[in-house]
Structure 1
Amino acid sequence: MSSSKSVSKMKRYIEEDRPRRLRTYVKKHHIQLCDVTLNKGRNLLHYCCKYGSGATMKYLISEGVYCIVQDSSMNTPLHLALDRALRLEEEGESALTTQCKYMKNYHLYMLLAGDSYTEMILPLIERFPGSLDMRNKAGETCRSLLHTLVQKRESAKGNEVHTAFTHSEFFVVRVYDFMSYETENETYNDWADRIREEFYARKRAQSQQYQRTETGRKNSKRKHSDSGQPEDEELKNARAKMRKKYEENRQKDKEMDVLKKRMKYEQRYRKLLDCDSIHMLGFDDIPWPCTKGQENDMTVLFEGMDRTEVGYKKYLRDQQIRWHPDKFMQRFGQYLDSADKDRIVQRVTVLSQNLNKLVT
């Protein structure tokens, strides 16, 4: 049986999607992951799917944590993963209708929804395809939720702004692989084997293509180096395009990573506010914008935002109120652990000062 302290520690590592830290902690304290039970009858996989922690989910599955456990509402981990993907779709759509109208945020919300499919939903379905037809108390099956997700994606496809996501057609194609399954043609085991083979065949093809490209590039470079001849102009242009594409993809990955951290920060803060009974709060229990140090707080909060937009100014004002030392102490002062109180107040003060510097 795991103590409440160890469970809280594991939940924090899951929220931050840090499988290596979780693995180290579990090994050090000899914790049996399969035996850990959370509130509402959920296991750690439920918690992963709730927070979209794909890397940690794969680690838990590799450790044998069961994927078809139903909580008190009869939801499986797949139900929660699908609910999260649907919620991200809705939040992406609402980004178009709010007064801030962040087109960049809309793109990132939709990319996150696609990530939820490839990182969370697809592995769960391939591991336990039988979970598609399990019902929760509301009478919803994972198959029906998956169908709703496909419909939302298709309706967004006709939207002009969604043309930026033509590269994610894989999402709809792969979902239809699952939705078009017919029991009279093949058994569940045959179907699961086929889907798994297709998935890994595609992975192998991508790996082989990458290896061929790298081999050709190295051979070409060696050839020009040995001959002492200048590189072909066409090759130079191709490399320039590849570098440009690489930089663009790296920037997108950076924006995606920042948005994920910002969403997790907001989730941690809302979770603390919604808690019926707040226990004593240590330094690590405070929902800081960045869990790895105050020097990255402003990056997590405002990276990628357009400072001329109304939404940016409103968000900045909300954060100023949230982290104002007096407001913070009024809300949480009575719950602060005396051993960490001075350290907490010091970081809140620094965070408030940094936010005030952004006001022009």
Structure 2
Amino acid sequence: MSFRRELRALRYIQKGDVLRLKSYIRRHRHLQLDQPLPSGQSLLHTACLMPDNACALLLLRKGADPLQCDAAGNNALHVAAQEMEKGEWRVYTDLCVPILKHCPQAIDVPNKQGTTPRQILRRAEDLMERHMIEKESSPEAYTNPSSKETTEWREKLLAESMDEYQELYGQYDDDDYVDSVPETESFESWADRIYREYHARNCRYDNTSVKTKVVTLQDTSRLVGERRYQERKEQMERELHQAKSDRYHRKCQEVFGGAGTSHEAGSKHGTGNVEPTEKSCDMTDNDSAHNTDTRTGIRMLSYKDIPWPVQGGTAEQMARFIAAGADSSDITSYKRYLRAQRVTWHPDRFMQRCGARLLAKDRVRVLETVTSLSQELNRLAELAK
């Protein structure tokens, strides 16, 4: 059998913590106050052995039975009377009298030895009388005549103070140390309360679900719109890049005669004197017509006529644009594409094709840009290894 709750109440009694004991009894209505502990005594027996009688009085008020006997057959009045017999005279007024008021028949209940509390109290009374006689006959009593009166006065004062303490002890009945235990509700009240709570929770859940669905639909529509916008944006960027790449290769075809593509068409152009095609003639504007040499009829190239990958850009920007024209995940084709571009923009090869057609005023600028672009392409080829 488990004594967990009773043993915890026993610890409070041994510490003399009456407030915690009172709160513990209030919170545990099913605590068995008369349950014999492993030592053979009940909680009331242990409280009667303590110097402070507050816990014993509390147990009496909470319904502890003074007639409950321990292993030796002693009830609570036996224990209190035995303490009085040991010289604790105040136990009579503090504990024996309240027990007798609560249960008068306890005074004549014998224990296993056949001794009743009445007999123990008589012996204690005789001992107290002898003690008082010895105290009065002692030399101290003659030297101090007022000692007897002082003793009697102190005993009366102690009795009055204990009576007042007992009267005021109930002032903690309505304390707020612990939450009060709610009254027992009927089954109908409990069922109605559970139904209301369940209905309120379901309504709140349904409202939350509707709001969540609306928010989810809105978020889904927004995400779909953003995804479509992002797809259109990426498609436009790809189309723009493809148009720029096509224009770059077309201009390379016009100027270099097939160079700048993935393979060189007509690689044997020693001097670079390429006859203009019909398509190139159609795209020749008025400025290009002014750059034609009147003696040879060859079209002269200015800085703007060179098919730069990025017009007005730096060599690094041009190299990045050229590298974006092939899939870098396919290493073989990517290296082959960079090799063709390095050959196209190699300074010596460029001079072979276009050196004789460069305008004198732009010659230095064109060669510097070609050299820088060739170096950037060589760097990208090294990184691709």
TM-score above 0.5, yes or no: no
Normalising to structure 2: TM-score of the pair? 0.35
Bigger radius of gyration: 2
- Structure that is richer in helix per residue: 1
